[in-house]
Amino acid sequence: MSWRCIVCGKKITEDHKPDACPLCGVVSDYIVADSEYERPSGALSAAAVADYDRALALEIEATRIYEEATERAKIEGDELTSVFFEALAKNEHGHQVAIKFQKKMRGA
Ligand SMILES: [Zn+2]
């Protein structure tokens, strides 16, 4: 069965509704059957656009920091630290996707 995250737009193929979006991490309250999915609507306010832009800049910087930490830990042979920062980088990237999706769907 196909599901859809209404926050980031990720299409999820799983037999059962997931507990959280594998991309942006929101809880299942924001995941619907793909057949019931409706694109977000309603324009964002200027203040909301500014908030999205600030958040996106933060997520981009956080992703860069986590990727650098991942590589440094790999060089140092610290597998747990490498895996930890790699997972954080993936989460931050998911946040970037969600922010860009929301802006695009709402015309910003
Ligand atoms: Zn999502």
Q: pLDDT for 11-38, tens place per residue?
A: 999 999 999 998 888 899 999 999 999 8
Ligand 1 mean position to 87 CA, how many Å? 16
Ligand 1 mean position to 43 CA, how many Å? 20
Cβ proximity of 104 and 43 under 8 Å? no
Ligand 1 mean position to 10 CA, how many Å? 5
- What is the pLDDT at residue 36? 94
Residues near 94 by beta carbon (within 8 Å), at least 6 away in sequence:
8, 21, 22, 23, 24, 25
Q: Is the pLDDT score of 41 beyond 90?
A: no
Q: Is 107 left (phi over 0), alpha (psi -120 to 50) or beta?
A: left
Tens digit of pLDDT for each residue in 85-94? 999 999 898 8
Ligand 1 mean position to 68 CA, how many Å? 25
Cβ proximity of 92 and 59 under 8 Å? yes
Q: Name the maximum alpha-carbon separation found in the chain.
A: 49
Q: Is the pLDDT score of 8 beyond 90?
A: no
Q: Answer yes or no: pTM beyond 0.75.
A: yes
- What is the pLDDT at residue 39? 83
Of the two residues 60 and 38, the one the predictor is more confident about is 60
- What is the pLDDT at residue 25? 84
Separation of alpha carbons 89 and 97, rounded Å: 12
Ligand 1 mean position to 90 CA, how many Å? 13
